[in-house]
Each structure stands twice: as structure tokens, then as C-alpha cells.
Amino acid sequence: MKALHTINRALSLVDGQTEPARGAEEVTVRVHHASVNPTDLDIVKGGFDLYFRLYGVKEPARTGLEFSGVVLDGSARFPTGTRVFGYTHLLKGPKTHQQVISVPEGYIAKIPDGMGFAEAAGFPLAAQTSLVALRDVARVRPGQKVLIVGGSGGLGVIAIQIARNIGARVTGLAGPAGQDIMKALGSERVVDYRQTPLSEIEGVFDVVLDLSARYGFRDIRPLLAPRGVFVPADPVKTALSIAANPFRRQKTGKLYVDRGDTALLTELAGQVVTGALETGPVLEFPLDDYRAAFETLKTPGRIGRTVLRMH
């Protein structure tokens, strides 16, 4: 079996992964596809070394948060042979860039008929995070103006649709390659940050969701309505702004999704089946081409998710 290992902050492919021990209320899954996302890149660069030390993480495989696959050793809820998808806890969970993992049942759901392994691997964390950000943290209501910064990326293509489905008036911000998809997915207005920097965007918004992780509250503030809410994708970088909330009318929302939610994943996958949501474009690489897959994360203009085919 193969796995991606981080050694001295570099990423390499090794043979000989040992069979994972299956814990209580866990199922063992043969991983079919696994996403690569910006957090994986941060992990490779050493950005999570301190947190991994604090949590006592010793496993050499440290990247991979989402996956799809087939249950090898199942439970009553997810019998052996079931096609499943899900994600793992960033610090406590097994990393999904391995060919076999044992995962808590609460973090997975069944892949509905008609959804492929590649699209299922790029969907769970992107969809759940976008939903939590807009519905629970920002509490978007129909008719509100919502700016999705980074609307063409892995989370953005889902976030635009979720805001649209709530009935919000959506503006999407991304580079030139992302303009068409943001429009097609339901943005009333699209803006190219290379032509129009954030500071020159016209109008104010009830909610600004920043999926580019490039802006702080000070940058976003002039774009917020008097009681507007800023939701940054990176709660660590924006912790001070979140702490200042009691003293301001314009708020910064804390977005951190790390709890499994089978019911929510099932509901979101159901929306794909009915056509209410699209998973968005998926770039697929064989595991041996993992370097090329990670390279896409550094390349502007990638639309949607990047996934590795693990078998």
C-alpha cells in the first residue's frame, strides 16, 4: 500500500503502509480518491507542525482531509462494500493520502447513486464548510447582498450556489479564469480582482465570505453594511478581529469546521442528486503525480477541486 509522507517538510510517496487499527465506531475504508487543498500545502510547509506536536501526532502521513472510497471492514450503519465519502479531523483524524484508513462513522456518509468517486472526494469539506459559513455563521437571509471572495476555487464554486439557493444576491470575486463559472453558478455580479482590486469594488454587502484567505477585517470593513458580517476562511489569522466583536457593530464570524456530520453530508449529497447543487469541476491526478497535483494549488486560475486517484 502507498501513502504520502511529510518528511522534513517535503512530501514523498512511500510503499509499505501498515494496515490501520480499527477503533470503536470506526470503519475501515479503501480510499479511492482524496482531495488536495490549501491546508495540505500549509501542512507540507510546516505551518501545522506546532499543532501536530501539541496533539501528539506521530504518523508520518500528514496530508489529506477528504476522501471517497469503499468500506473494507464495515458496521451496521456502513456495511462492507458501501461507497462512502467524508473527511477527517485536521489534527486528530487519520490523513486521507493513504490507500487504507480507519475513520469514525460520524465523519462519513454514503455516496449517492450517480455521484462518482472523484467528485465525491472533493465535495464533503468544501460543501459542509460553505454551508456552515453562510447559513450558521453569517446567517444569510433571502435578498441579502453576499460577496464571495475566491468564488472560483474549491469552496467558492459550492459557496456561490449555497448563497444563491438561500436567495441571496451574490457577487463573486476571483481572477480572470474564474469569471464564467461564477456567473454560471448564480452570481448576479462577477468581479476580476486583477482589474478591480477589493478596495475598488462598488457597493456594500451584508456578508463577505473570504475564501482567498488574503484579506483581514480592515480590508473588508469598507465593503460591509453597518451590521455586516465578515467570515474569513482562516480563523487563526483573524483571531484578533474575532475577539474585537463585542466592541463593533460589524462582526467577524468564526468559521472552523471540524465536527463530523453524517446527516448534513447526506443532505448536501442529496442536493447534488436533485440538481440543486453542482459539485463543480474536478482536476484528477494519479497518486504518482502528486507533485503536479500539489502544484495546482499554487497556480492561479484553477477552478474547483484537485483530487488524487489513490488506487
Ligand X SMILES: NC(=O)c1ccc[n+]([C@@H]2O[C@H](COP(=O)([O-])OP(=O)(O)OC[C@H]3O[C@@H](n4cnc5c(N)ncnc54)[C@H](OP(=O)(O)O)[C@@H]3O)[C@@H](O)[C@H]2O)c1
Residue 93 in contact with ligand X, rule: CB under 6 A: no
Residue 241 in contact with ligand X, rule: CB under 6 A: no
Nearer Cβ to ligand X (20/124): 124
Residue 147 in contact with ligand X, rule: CB under 6 A: no
Contact window for ligand X (CB under 6 A) among 18-26, 50-58, 104-112, 228-236: 228-236
Nearer Cβ to ligand X (57/213): 213
- Contact between 276 and 158 (Cβ < 8 Å): no
- Contact between 205 and 227 (Cβ < 8 Å): no
The minimum distance between CB 125 and ligand X, in angstroms, equals: 5
The minimum distance between CB 80 and ligand X, in angstroms, equals: 30
- Give the footprint of ligand X on residues 15-34 (CB under 6 A): none
Residue 129 in contact with ligand X, rule: CB under 6 A: yes
Show the cell assigned to 271.
442536493
Interacting residue with ligand X among 13, 38, 189, 289 (CB under 6 A): 38
Residue 137 in contact with ligand X, rule: CB under 6 A: no
Residue 94 in contact with ligand X, rule: CB under 6 A: no
Interacting residue with ligand X among 209, 255, 277, 293 (CB under 6 A): 255
Residue 47 in contact with ligand X, rule: CB under 6 A: no
Residue 115 in contact with ligand X, rule: CB under 6 A: no
- Our CA dihedral for 86, 88, 90, 93, rounded to 10 degrees, sits at -170
Residue 257 in contact with ligand X, rule: CB under 6 A: yes
Residue 242 in contact with ligand X, rule: CB under 6 A: no
148 forms bridges with which residues in the sheet?
Answer: 172, 209
- Contact between 300 and 277 (Cβ < 8 Å): no
Residue 39 in contact with ligand X, rule: CB under 6 A: yes
The minimum distance between CB 22 and ligand X, in angstroms, equals: 26
Nearer Cβ to ligand X (86/156): 156
The minimum distance between CB 18 and ligand X, in angstroms, equals: 29
Residue 51 in contact with ligand X, rule: CB under 6 A: no
- Give the footprint of ligand X on residues 166-225 (CB under 6 A): 173-175, 177-178, 193, 211-214
Cα distance between residue 162 and residue 138, in whole Å: 12
Residue 302: count of CB within 10 angstroms of its CB: 19
Nearer Cβ to ligand X (20/232): 232
The minimum distance between CB 204 and ligand X, in angstroms, equals: 18
Opening angle at CA 198, ends 215 and 191, nearest 5: 125
Show the cell assigned to 146.
453576499
The terminus-to-terminus CA distance of the chain in angstroms comes to 9
Residue 131 in contact with ligand X, rule: CB under 6 A: no
Contact residues: ligand X, CB under 6 A? 37-39, 125, 129, 149-156, 173-175, 177-178, 193, 211-214, 233-235, 255-257, 300-302
